[in-house]
Structure 1
């Protein structure tokens, strides 16, 4: 929300949006197919309230009532009713009604509470009849469900000729729907979140600008991470989970491949944590960060059209410094082992302390009564060779204690493996409280060579976003940076800014040019620098 008193913010929004409405040769965002205009909604004039005339109605169905849903619903519901309005040639004003569908009605109602023009309903996407009925009543569907559910939704959208937006990766099963989507005359816009999503858009903007000037991309590096805001990174790992930690822990075992100075580098999943490197960003020197390689970076070189020209293509995951040393040590101790552990098979449940003694091969006549402190854990970790560094052993011992793995309480029967125990404790002890904030940091660096210059240009683009608390209610940075792009994708389809049909990613100017400007106008700042 921007009031008329916020002159600087209004000027920024007007400049951003009208740059697309009135393209010129000097406008780096110019795109003849994407015209954006700005209108003001309710305006007070001599005490009389004036409304924009002849508005059309549109409806969007959002599937999934998780944290990401709320900012998406808020943005869509405010479209056409408040200060900023996306239109084409100042015509066809649109009011958007939003329906949020969730398997559990209470979740949908909780998300929509207090948001005007948004309705919560109970909807099971596996109930085809009900799913088809709900999709038939809207213009665009946004699926924020787990990726495994998208195909079911996509097939329904194809049959009913409705556009679909997701924030998930476009996998092979979704790609195979390209021809069907084209035949149906619809767009399935995937990877419209943060990573993937804004990362694609920022990358392609930088790369295409370089190519338009006959430049050659020599190096592309990208870093992204969801982290606690510095003041809330208050545990030994300096990390917290905004949802179930299972996926994040498993990601730490994924192999990685990237290209560095012309050589292809492969990292085995078991060695991923050991491959982490320290990272300092020039624009944010106060952040002590580290970076882990993120899966197969070579795929992105091909996707961005720089696979053959760039000698370095690297994508990494950001964490605060020290995270990987601790996680790597915990992994070597066996805490992330997924096999059923004999001690956890028994009907009589062991305590966390007894389980940890078993992992660390500590033999004691009375493990429940044994005194075991931080120094003892450090010594045992070093003796077993789980790490060689005293400081890493100390931080690992602090983490074990912080997670309550020496507590004398029984382990739940649902925990059958060390991995189960780790996830159970991390979900308990490494979750955000209602007042704590997260942070999202996305950073691209591109090195460009031009034919008429001997100097290599370096371009940087950075997104830094923090969670926001309004009236005691916190919205995470991750929810904002995933939910807003998804909503923007729906708006671009509603207003016919995206004309291409089939299965798309936001790597075409038709999508990323207007999307980036709207995202920034909405308050998510993207910092660009070159040297």
Structure 2
């Protein structure tokens, strides 16, 4: 019997635990700072144990890691350095879905000396995007092709029947992470030139994209440049990794930024305020001119009837009482609270994940375009597409490491055939698979 430690019992944990429990040779310990959440995920099932763990209790963390054969962390990436060091100390393999940080990358030699793998970026994006891209890249190269352009797109969206609000977006978990990500800049490679996009100019680097029947909006996601070497695409002319949303998202985020809604400075009110007065306090707007006019002036070129409709629907212009006196509140936290209230998925509503790769390559003097697309929907049992596509790669990798199918050491991401071939095959077995079109152009 192999013991697996699952750190974190949040949104992704349930499908991960469900998958691993199908293997009768695994027993699981689910640890979370909130014991009731760990108990909910474990469900008091055979071969499961729920424990309370505050990650700051390093001694207890180390005890759990010492007693396990493999650890999976679903906790925020800021906690992974501590966890990785404990895994190296007790020679316990570690899997996470988070990006590799420079601090984690520095542990490569120590992990190799300990004979363990620290497998990062093993979710959806990053994760399935890497594996599916590398499988196509290696096939093209093996067939004598040379890739000149690679564009990769990914987004978590509402399924068509659930896409019912003016924002054309719904949240499966806290909107704050999405809003914080909307403040990032980006770098990518376009026609042999590095393009460096500041966040306040992101709206200039947005373009339409049709995937299957969906008309979407794409914009560059963070820094794509390191993936030229990670994907072994030296000499490529264009490489960009993008986020997908329905049209209008980027300009709406720009309007929110210009108005001041991304301000994270906390303020406290000593009295009960109306929404109008609270917003004036949080956004530093004097009394007098109406909020609608102030928002329009601050948003400037980004103000449109569509954005005004979105703000109206969210309730930003409603003058309702706000019971937030003696509470620390920031502009972004207030916005998040409204979004949670009005933009969360209702029971039985489905989400949707869209992942799309666009390759241009040349073979024997003829140009080709290889399109590879994954469209995954939430399940009727309530398991979201996002949770499944983040959880399953980590769970499958855990299984293959413990069974010996994946036998690596050091800090790794899933760009090697030894990882991506078996994991993608098992994802297909679980109903998560790509559709491909490869045509001459």
Which TM-score bucket, shorter chain as reference?
A: over 0.9
Task: Give the distance between the partners of 2:60 and 2:268, measured in 1 at CA.
Answer: 43
Residue 464 of structure 1 aligns to a residue in which SS?
Answer: strand
* Shift of residue 75, structure 1, vs aligned partner: 0.8
Runs of 5+ consecutive residues of structure 2 not aligned to the other structure: none
Task: Give the distance between the partners of 1:480 and 1:128, measured in 2 at CA.
Answer: 30
Runs of 5+ consecutive residues of structure 1 not aligned to the other structure: 1-56, 82-94
Q: Which residue, 221, 225, 228 being the options, matches 1:294? A: 221
Task: Give the distance between the partners of 2:121 and 2:37, measured in 1 at CA.
Answer: 25
**C-alpha RMSD of matched pairs (Å):** 2.2
Taking structure 2 as the reference length, the TM-score comes to 0.92
- Counterpart check, 1:487 vs 2:395: yes
8 A contact 1:253–1:272 mirrored in 2: no
**Which structure 2 residues correspond to residues 73-472 of structure 1 after superposition, within 5 A?**
73-79=17-23, 81=24, 95-113=25-43, 115-281=45-211, 284=212, 286-306=213-233, 308-339=234-265, 346-356=269-279, 364=288, 377=292, 384=297, 386-388=299-301, 393-407=304-318, 408-410=320-322, 412-413=324-325, 414-450=327-363, 453-470=364-381
CA offsets 1:442-464 (integer angstroms, 9 cap, x no match):
111111112xx221111122111
- Counterpart check, 1:509 vs 2:435: no
* Shift of residue 422, structure 1, vs aligned partner: 1.6
8 A contact 2:62–2:86 mirrored in 1: yes
8 A contact 2:272–2:321 mirrored in 1: no
Structure 1, 175-184 or 257-266: larger mean CA deviation: 257-266
Assess, with a 3 A threshold, how the Cα gap between structure 1 residues 523 and 234 changes in structure 2: closer, same or farther. same
* Shift of residue 525, structure 1, vs aligned partner: 1.9
Task: Give the distance between the partners of 2:431 and 2:13, measured in 1 at CA.
Answer: 18
Aligned residues: 436
Task: Give the distance between the partners of 1:178 and 1:444, measured in 2 at CA.
Answer: 30
Task: Give the distance between the partners of 2:127 and 2:90, measured in 1 at CA.
Answer: 26
* Shift of residue 116, structure 1, vs aligned partner: 4.4
8 A contact 1:73–1:118 mirrored in 2: no
CA offsets 1:235-284 (integer angstroms, 9 cap, x no match):
11111222222221121121111111222212111122443221112xx1
Task: Give the distance between the partners of 2:277 and 2:5, measured in 1 at CA.
Answer: 50
8 A contact 1:381–1:393 mirrored in 2: no
Taking structure 1 as the reference length, the TM-score comes to 0.77
Q: Which residue, 3, 13, 27 being the options, matches 1:69? A: 13
* Shift of residue 115, structure 1, vs aligned partner: 4.8
CA offsets 1:325-376 (integer angstroms, 9 cap, x no match):
3222222222223456xxx5542343222345676968649x7xxxx9xxxx
Task: Give the distance between the partners of 1:305 and 1:520, measured in 2 at CA.
Answer: 25
Task: Give the distance between the partners of 1:189 and 1:503, measured in 2 at CA.
Answer: 6
8 A contact 1:262–1:312 mirrored in 2: yes
Residue 366 of structure 2 aligns to a residue in which SS?
Answer: coil
Task: Give the distance between the partners of 1:262 and 1:388, measured in 2 at CA.
Answer: 31
CA offsets 1:353-406 (integer angstroms, 9 cap, x no match):
2345676968649x7xxxx9xxxx4x7655x273457xx622222222222222
- Counterpart check, 1:60 vs 2:4: yes
Structure 1, 290-299 or 241-250: larger mean CA deviation: 241-250
CA offsets 1:32-82 (integer angstroms, 9 cap, x no match):
xxxxxxxxxxxxxxxxxxxxxxxxx22211110011111111111102x5x
Residue 223 of structure 2 aligns to a residue in which SS?
Answer: coil
Residue 321 of structure 2 aligns to a residue in which SS?
Answer: coil
